[in-house]
C-alpha cells in the first residue's frame, strides 16, 4: 500500500466488503427461519440442519475450487482455455489465499462471493423441504454453490466473461446469475423428487400446506430483505479510478462500479432497491388478493426482477418493472403447479427463477444499446443477448444439472426419504429421544427430592 490515498482506498474497500458479508449472513438466517416456519412441527430440526450444513459444505468447497473457477473460467471452454494467470492466485495453495500483508482484498472478496453461493444453495433447499434426504440436498448444495453458479458468474458476471463480451449480457445485481440459475436448479430437482404426500388430491387439485408459524416466516423474509442490502452493496466495486479500471473511461473522476467495472453509484442502487421492493409488494398484494406470504415474497420478487438493470434504471422504472415481474411470476407459479403437479414448498422457483428470467428479458429492452462494459469491443446490452443469457442461466446451468443429478440420485434410491418416515416426520427419532430424556431427568429429580 504505497501512499496514503492508496492505503485509505484499500482499507476502505476491505472494510466495505467485510460489512457486506456480515449483512449477507442475515440472508441465511432469514432462509433458515423461513424454511422452519413453513415446515410442519414434525420436520423442524431436519429442515434446519439441512440448511445450516450448507454453510460449512459450500464454504470449504468454495475455498478448494469454487473461487478458482470464477477466475479461470471466463472464456472456458467455448472461447478459450483456462485463464491460469487469473486462476492460479486463487487456488487454495496460493500465497494470496491466506494471511498476506501485500493482499488485503482477496479474503473479503472471496467471502462476498461465498455468501452468494450460500444463497444459491439455500434457494434450492427451501423448495424441497419435508421429503428430500439431507445427503442428497447437500450434494446439490455443493454443485449449485461451488460449481454451477460460479461457472455462470465467470461467464456472465465477470469483466472478462464471454457472455458479457459477445452477448452484451448485463446482470448487475444477479437476476440471472443467482436467482434464475437457483430457481431453474430447484425446478430440475423438484421434477424428479415429486410432491409431498397429500399435496395433491386424487383429481389433481393442489392442497395448501400452511406454515406452522407465520410469524417466523414473516421475520425470516424481512431478514432476507435486510441481507439483500448487503448483497446489493457487495455487487459493487466501491471506489475505483479510471486508470485502475484500464478501460475506455477518460479523465480522473473516481466512481463506484458494478461487477463489470462500469460506472454506477450506491445512491442509484438504493433508490432502485427500495422502489422495486415497493412495486413488488404493491403488485403482489393486489394479484394475490392480500395473501400475506405472497405479498412478502412479492417484495423479494420485485427486487429480483429489477436487479439485472438496477444499476442504471430510473427509480420509477424499477418500481414498474418489479410490479410487472410479480404479476407474471404469480400467475406462472399457479399454472405450473396445476399443470405439472409441482410442489415448491416456498415458491422458490417462481420468486427466484421466474423473476430472474423475466427481469433479464425486460432489461434487454429497457437498456437496449447501453454499453455492457467499459472495455472496447464488447457487445452492447440487447434483448437477444439477455434472453439467451436467461436460457443459459435458468435452463442450461440450472435446470439441466439439477434434473440430471436428481435422476441419478433417484435411480440409486438416494433422493427421497421413505414414505413411512415422511408420514411420521423426519424428527420422529429426535422427538422420542427428547421425550425419553425429559422423563428420565424428571424422574431422577423427583427421586432425589423424595430421598432428601
Partner 1 sequence: MSTIGLESWAVDLAEVGPVYPFQGWEVAMTIVGVVFWLGWHRIQYLRENEHLKNVRDIGDKEKIAKALERY
Choose between 43 and 373: whose C-beta lies nearer to partner 1.
Answer: 373
Interacting residue with partner 1 among 259, 282, 361, 390 (CB under 8 A): 282
CA gap 203, 200 in Å, rounded: 8
In terms of Cα–Cα distance, which of 312, 299, 440 is closest to 368? 312
Convert residues 232-251 into a mask of x (bound to partner 1 by CB under 8 A) and - (unbound). Answer: ----------x----xxxxx
Segment contacting partner 1 (CB under 8 A): 30-38, 115-123, 192-200, 280-288?
A: 280-288
Number of chain positions touching partner 1 (CB under 8 A): 35
Interacting residue with partner 1 among 17, 148, 313, 403 (CB under 8 A): 313
Helix (H) or strand (E) holding 141: helix 134-143
Convert residues 320-359 into a mask of x (bound to partner 1 by CB under 8 A) and - (unbound). Answer: x--x------------------------------------
Choose between 23 and 293: whose C-beta lies nearer to partner 1.
Answer: 293
User: Taking the complex as a whole, how short is the minimal distance between the CB of residue 394 and partner 1, in angstroms?
Assistant: 24
User: Taking the complex as a whole, how short is the minimal distance between the CB of residue 60 and partner 1, in angstroms?
Assistant: 38
Q: Is the dihedral of CA 74, 80, 86, 89 positive or negative?
A: positive
User: Taking the complex as a whole, how short is the minimal distance between the CB of residue 11 and partner 1, in angstroms?
Assistant: 24
368 near partner 1, rule: CB under 8 A: yes
Segment contacting partner 1 (CB under 8 A): 16-24, 104-112, 229-237, 317-325?
A: 317-325
Interacting residue with partner 1 among 87, 183, 374, 425 (CB under 8 A): 374
Q: Is the dihedral of CA 166, 171, 177, 179 positive or negative?
A: negative
CA gap 60, 142 in Å, rounded: 9
Choose between 90 and 257: whose C-beta lies nearer to partner 1.
Answer: 257
Interacting residue with partner 1 among 43, 317, 386, 409 (CB under 8 A): 317
**Half-sphere exposure at residue 81, Cβ-oriented, CA atoms within 13 angstroms:** 2
CA gap 384, 388 in Å, rounded: 6
Choose between 120 and 312: whose C-beta lies nearer to partner 1.
Answer: 312
Choose between 254 and 428: whose C-beta lies nearer to partner 1.
Answer: 254
Q: Is 416 helix (H, G, I), strand (E, B) or coil?
A: strand
Question: Would you state the cell numbers that stand for residue 71, as one nine-digit string?
Answer: 477466475
Interacting residue with partner 1 among 178, 181, 345, 366 (CB under 8 A): 366
Place of cell 446451468: 397
Interacting residue with partner 1 among 23, 273, 285, 294 (CB under 8 A): 285
Give exposure, 60-76, as e/b (b: 16+ Cβ within 10 Å): ebbbebbbbbbbbbbbb
Q: Is the dihedral of CA 166, 167, 172, 178 positive or negative?
A: negative
Question: Would you state the cell numbers that stand for residue 38, as one nine-digit string?
Answer: 413453513
CA gap 283, 218 in Å, rounded: 18
In terms of Cα–Cα distance, which of 123, 131, 153, 171 is closest to 43? 131
| Binding positions for partner 1, rule: CB under 8 A | 242, 247-253, 255, 262-263, 279, 282, 285-286, 289-290, 312-314, 316-317, 319-320, 323, 366-371, 373-374, 376, 380
Amino acid at each position: 500500500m504505497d501512499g496514503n490515498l492508496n492505503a485509505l482506498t484499500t482499507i476502505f474497500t476491505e472494510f466495505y466488503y467485510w460489512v457486506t458479508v456480515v449483512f449477507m449472513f442475515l440472508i441465511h438466517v432469514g432462509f433458515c427461519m423461513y424454511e422452519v416456519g413453513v415446515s410442519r412441527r414434525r420436520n423442524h430440526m431436519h429442515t434446519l440442519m439441512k440448511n445450516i450444513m450448507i454453510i460449512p459444505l459450500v464454504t470449504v468447497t468454495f475455498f478448494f475450487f469454487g473461487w478458482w473457477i470464477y477466475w479461470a473460467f471466463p472464456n472456458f471452454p467455448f472461447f478459450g482455455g483456462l485463464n491460469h494467470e487469473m486462476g492460479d492466485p486463487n487456488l487454495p495453495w496460493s500465497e494470496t489465499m491466506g494471511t498476506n500483508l501485500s493482499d488485503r482484498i482477496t479474503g473479503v472478496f472471496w467471502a462476498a462471493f461465498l455468501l452468494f453461493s450460500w444463497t444459491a444453495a439455500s434457494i434450492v433447499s427451501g423448495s424441497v423441504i419435508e421429503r428430500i434426504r439431507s445427503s442428497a440436498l447437500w450434494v446439490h448444495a455443493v454443485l449449485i454453490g461451488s460449481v454451477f453458479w460460479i461457472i455462470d458468474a465467470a461467464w456472465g458476471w465477470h469483466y472478462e466473461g464471454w457472455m458479457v463480451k459477445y452477448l452484451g449480457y448485463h446482470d448487475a445485481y444477479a437476476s440471472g446469475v443467482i436467482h434464475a440459475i437457483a430457481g431453474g436448479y430447484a425446478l430440475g430437482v423438484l421434477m424428479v423428487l415429486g410432491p409431498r404426500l397429500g399435496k395433491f388430491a386424487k383429481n389433481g387439485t393442489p392442497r395448501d400446506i400452511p406454515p406452522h408459524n407465520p410469524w417466523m416466516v414473516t421475520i425470516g423474509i424481512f431478514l432476507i430483505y435486510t441481507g439483500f442490502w448487503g448483497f446489493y452493496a457487495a455487487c459493487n466495486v466501491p471506489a475505483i479510478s479510471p486508470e485502475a479500471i484500464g478501460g475506455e473511461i477518460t479523465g480522473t473522476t473516481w466512481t463506484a462500479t458494478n461487477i463489470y467495472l462500469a460506472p454506477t453509484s450506491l445512491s442509484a442502487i438504493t433508490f432502485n432497491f427500495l422502489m422495486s421492493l415497493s412495486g413488488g409488494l404493491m403488485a403482489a398484494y393486489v394479484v394475490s388478493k392480500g395473501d400475506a406470504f405472497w405479498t412478502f415474497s412479492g417484495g423479494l420478487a420485485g427486487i429480483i426482477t429489477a436487479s439485472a438493470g438496477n444499476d442504471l434504471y430510473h427509480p420509477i422504472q424499477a418500481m414498474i418493472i418489479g410490479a410487472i415481474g410479480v404479476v407474471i411470476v404469480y400467475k406462472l407459479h399457479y399454472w405450473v403447479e396445476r399443470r405439472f403437479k409441482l410442489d415448491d414448498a416456498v415458491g422458490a422457483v417462481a420468486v427466484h427463477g421466474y423473476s430472474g428470467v423475466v427481469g433479464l428479458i425486460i432489461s434487454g429492452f429497457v437498456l437496449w444499446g447501453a454499453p455492457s462494459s467499459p472495455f472496447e469491443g464488447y457487445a452492447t446490452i440487447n434483448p437477444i443477448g439477455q434472453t439467451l443469457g436467461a436460457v443459459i442461466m435458468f435452463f442450461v446451468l440450472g435446470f439441466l444439472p439439477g434434473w440430471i443429478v436428481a435422476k441419478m440420485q433417484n435411480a440409486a434410491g438416494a433422493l427421497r426419504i421413505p414414505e413411512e418416515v415422511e408420514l411420521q416426520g423426519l424428527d420422529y427419532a429426535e422427538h422420542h429421544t427428547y421425550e425419553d430424556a425429559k422423563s428420565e431427568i424428571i424422574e431422577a429429580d423427583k427421586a432425589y427430592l423424595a430421598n432428601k
